[in-house]
Structure 1
């Protein structure tokens, strides 16, 4: 097996706010692994605050590119071990390996990842940004007109009363049949989170994501069972799924394959959550088409569940290749071809 990689930069349509500040483009590395006449592609796209830095990612990929082994299984083990402490780099390598193996086995990637039934579509949510009440309502109506049946509203950047007003007005505008979620990105303390849950329950909000800081798993457990399901996102990456489950901190866990270290890891975490009666939702870290399509396959490999956060391609002004997984009426297409299903990302 031989691994090669090369850098890329994709401009965003609007700046992305992160814990490390705003970013205007997503920069990462395409990964290619060749073996016995076939090749697989992966993507390593670090995100500040979620994964290693770009420099650390490239160093891990350099180590992986230097791996040699006569036995293929040993080569795979060494490739992944070279990226052990760099989740984005490991994601790129693991995705390329999975694509290669699925192509060899002549199955779609989600089948290779453990999916046992044919899946043509995965439901996805629309994400509504932090705007004024009027802007939020307009964006919600537009998303519903495009066919989305689940809307996720960004909250936590404004006073709680303002967020409650935004959510209330969206509920009035879209009616009772559209599922609403809210994502606070850890912005509140426990008192604010309790007040938010009570108010959002009155608005029939189905899910409140990461209301409290990453480390406050006990607080997340306290605000559960009050009319709104509680999800954790950042806590899964920072504290680990075992700590989240041991604390009884969530009804829902959000899985980002890039931040977790690969599609294989995301599938393992999702399966473990399901065994503990916790629902997994798969999302991206605003990745290019290679990683984004990989996340679609992760979602398709798990039992059908709630809408996932995979409709992020339109946040990029350019991409690495044509998108084989478009969003149609609130569902994203699952490529049925062998392997990942992305063509043209690595042009000779």
Structure 2
């Protein structure tokens, strides 16, 4: 079983401002490997803070000369982006060999697979007027759900941004994502003032430091909105998060969780604990983004997912087989990820 690894670098249209800093380029690797008599493709796009570093990812992929053997030997357990690429290539190849979509392969014959997945628009840190304009544009494009990045500036400024977003779109579902930037006092002040202004939020994502599971559990008891965790999944076990009742929603990034298979396993754990799952990307290229879409489809009927991130890139590895239309993405019917859509990719080489 041969394995080929090729690097790529994709600049963003403009930097995305988050509480962890600006993201201006996504660098990663395309992994191809033969599975039986077909070839599968995967993607590793590391993002430190969520995954291993770019260099560590490269070193991990250098150890792989057989997709299935690498997973069976657990040699990639400390490199989630690398494991994501290897597992995605393996499952893409297996699904292609069976002539079914990746989502159907992951679920099996008896499970429900969504044909379309609702997605949210994402608005980076902007002034209140610019935030309102971005939300208006998103709603006009068909989105029913918008996530605002918060935590970059003062709490009071973020409150005004949320109020401006609500005034711009009365019916849209609003989420906020602090990327762990707030103290407990800041997070509490934010949700209290937003509630006082009469704005409802679908959930508040990662309000506190990722490692503070107990803090999230305590904050959740007082928060007037649902609480979601994202980065916490990279610092704590799912068992601990669920046992402490630290979240109402788990934000699943297949790239950070080590693959589509591990993402679905986490979602099943969450479902058993009556906790929702939302699938998002780490601003990945089209191969990983399509893989994440299949994960969302395998959940059956997930809440709006954070998969509408292709437009952040100034170019991509290939044409998107699942573009966003009216706030939804249609899941490719396969086989595998998207039939022959990724047979030729625009990589640096």
* TM band (smaller chain): over 0.9
Flag structure 1 segments of 5+ consecutive residues without an equivalent: none
State the TM-score, normalized to the length of structure 2. Answer: 0.92
Superposition pairs for residues 52-71 of structure 1, below 5 Å?
A: 52-65=52-65, 67=66
Q: Is the 8 A contact 2:180 2:206 kept in 1?
A: yes
Q: Distance in 2 between matches of 1:87 and 1:75?
A: 13
Q: Is the 8 A contact 1:52 1:88 kept in 2?
A: yes
Q: Secondary structure at the match of 1:265?
A: helix
Q: Decide whether aligned partners of structure 1 residues 292 and 73 sit closer, same or farther in structure 2, where only a CA change above 3 A counts.
A: closer
| Number of residue pairs aligned between Structure 1 and Structure 2 | 340
Superposition pairs for residues 53-92 of structure 1, below 5 Å?
A: 53-65=53-65, 67=66, 77-78=72-73, 81-92=74-85
Residue 343 (structure 1) shift: 3.4
Matched, 1:154 2:159: no
**What is the RMSD of the two structures over their aligned residues, measured on CA atoms?**
1.8
Q: 4+ residue runs of structure 1 moved beyond 4 angstroms?
A: 17-21, 72-76
Matched, 1:278 2:275: yes
Residue 165 (structure 1) shift: 1.2
Matched, 1:236 2:230: no
Superposition pairs for residues 288-327 of structure 1, below 5 Å?
A: 288-327=285-324
State the TM-score, normalized to the length of structure 1. Answer: 0.93
Q: Distance in 1 between matches of 2:307 and 2:69?
A: 33
Q: Distance in 2 between matches of 1:110 and 1:238?
A: 28
- Measured against aligned partners, the alpha-carbon deviations of 1:260-303 in whole angstroms (never above 9, x if no partner) come to 10110111001111110111100000011000000000000013
Residue 73 (structure 1) shift: 6.2
Matched, 1:194 2:191: no
After the TM superposition, which of the residue ranges 149-158 and 16-25 deviates more from structure 2? 16-25
Residue 345 (structure 1) shift: 3.5
Flag structure 2 segments of 5+ consecutive residues without an equivalent: none
Q: Distance in 2 between matches of 1:19 and 1:141?
A: 23
Q: Distance in 2 between matches of 1:249 and 1:213?
A: 13
Q: Is the 8 A contact 1:19 1:48 kept in 2?
A: no
Aligned to 2:100: 107
Superposition pairs for residues 1-348 of structure 1, below 5 Å?
A: 1-17=1-17, 21-65=21-65, 67=66, 77-78=72-73, 81-114=74-107, 116-175=111-170, 177-201=171-195, 202-225=198-221, 226-341=223-338, 343-347=340-344
Residue 138 (structure 1) shift: 0.4
Q: Distance in 1 between matches of 2:55 and 2:137?
A: 40
After the TM superposition, which of the residue ranges 5-14 and 257-266 deviates more from structure 2? 5-14
Q: Distance in 1 between matches of 2:115 and 2:157?
A: 39
Q: Secondary structure at the match of 1:64?
A: coil
Q: Secondary structure at the match of 2:220?
A: coil
